């Protein structure tokens, strides 16, 4: 059994947080073990919970269209989420749920060693860029903790806010270029303390 399969088996049996009680199935993630790009969404929704697969609902269809716009299919990339079980009524993940699930994502990334991590939405962005605002940093690749991370808006945001659709499409179209120039990507510098404090 590969490390990714081992992690998936553990995720399917996981009881580390309360979300296991309401799930139909956990959604570990899927894709080839040698994928160059990993996409990280937020959490499974209704259809993902039913099927045990990530991004199979409306946001998934948009993700597939976006992938095909850059000549990729979902079978060529690894797709997973920050949390692997569906929150009730699709509410936002709680910090303790994210913390409980984090070790699985850490292990998936260690096993995959991708050239590029694309975060979809603010919850997965926050994993790599805490305190950052997606409106400020989307579409700007940065090196974080040995990975090159490219924060994008979530495809579901583009479905709900038509004005974001073009932004998501344009950021997505730059993925091949970001991948080609990965070696030149600068290290992330968190905003200065003063700016962080102003947020509160």
Residue closer to ligand URA (CB basis): 52 or 141: 52
Q: Assess 97 for contact with ligand URA (CB under 6 A).
A: no
Do strands 78-81 and 116-120 pair parallel, antiparallel, or not at all (unpaired)? unpaired
Least gap, CB of 98 to ligand URA (angstroms) = 13
Torsion of CA 68, 60, 42, 139, to 10 degrees: 30
Q: Assess 52 for contact with ligand URA (CB under 6 A).
A: no
Strand partners, 187: 143
Residue closer to ligand URA (CB basis): 159 or 182: 159
Least gap, CB of 27 to ligand URA (angstroms) = 6
The encoded tokens of residue 70 equal: 């850059």
Q: Residue 44 in contact with residue 85, Cβ under 8 Å? A: yes
Question: Which one among 31, 41, 141, 151 touches ligand URA, defined by CB under 6 A?
Answer: 41
Place of tokens 């929150």: 87
Q: Assess 54 for contact with ligand URA (CB under 6 A).
A: yes
Closest CA to 64 of 28, 39, 33: 39
User: Going by C-beta distance under 8 Å and a sequence separation of 6 or more, which residues neighbour residue 73?
Assistant: 64, 67
Positive or negative: CA dihedral 1, 86, 70, 178: negative
Contact track, ligand URA, 77-96, x by CB under 6 A: ----x---------------
Question: Which one among 28, 31, 44, 93 touches ligand URA, defined by CB under 6 A?
Answer: 44
Q: Assess 108 for contact with ligand URA (CB under 6 A).
A: no
Least gap, CB of 28 to ligand URA (angstroms) = 11
Residue closer to ligand URA (CB basis): 149 or 156: 156
The size of the interface with ligand URA (CB under 6 A), counted in residues, is: 13
How far is the C-alpha of 153 from the C-alpha of 135, rounded, in Å? 8
Binding site for ligand URA (CB under 6 A): 41-45, 48, 54-55, 57, 59-60, 81, 156
């Amino acid at each position: 059994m590969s490390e990714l399969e081992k992690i998936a088996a553990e995720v399917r049996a996981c009881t580390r947080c309360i979300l296991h009680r309401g799930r139909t199935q956990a959604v570990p993630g899927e894709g080839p073990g040698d994928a160059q790009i990993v996409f990280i969404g937020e959490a499974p929704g209704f259809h993902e919970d039913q099927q045990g697969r990530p991004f199979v609902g409306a946001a998934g269809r948009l993700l597939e269209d976006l992938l095909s716009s850059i000549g990729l299919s979902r079978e060529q990339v690894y797709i997973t989420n920050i949390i692997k079980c569906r929150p009730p009524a699709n509410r936002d993940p709680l910090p303790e749920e994210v913390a409980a699930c984090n070790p699985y994502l850490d292990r998936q990334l260690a096993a995959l060693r991708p050239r590029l991590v694309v975060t979809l939405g603010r919850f997965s962005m926050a994993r790599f860029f805490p305190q950052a605002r997606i409106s400020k940093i989307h579409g700007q690749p940065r090196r974080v903790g040995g990975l090159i991370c490219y924060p994008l808006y979530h495809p579901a945001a583009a479905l709900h806010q038509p004005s974001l659709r073009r932004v998501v499409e344009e950021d997505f179209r730059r993925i091949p270029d970001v991948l080609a120039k990965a070696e030149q990507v600068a290290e992330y510098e968190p905003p200065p303390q003063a700016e962080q404090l102003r947020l509160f």
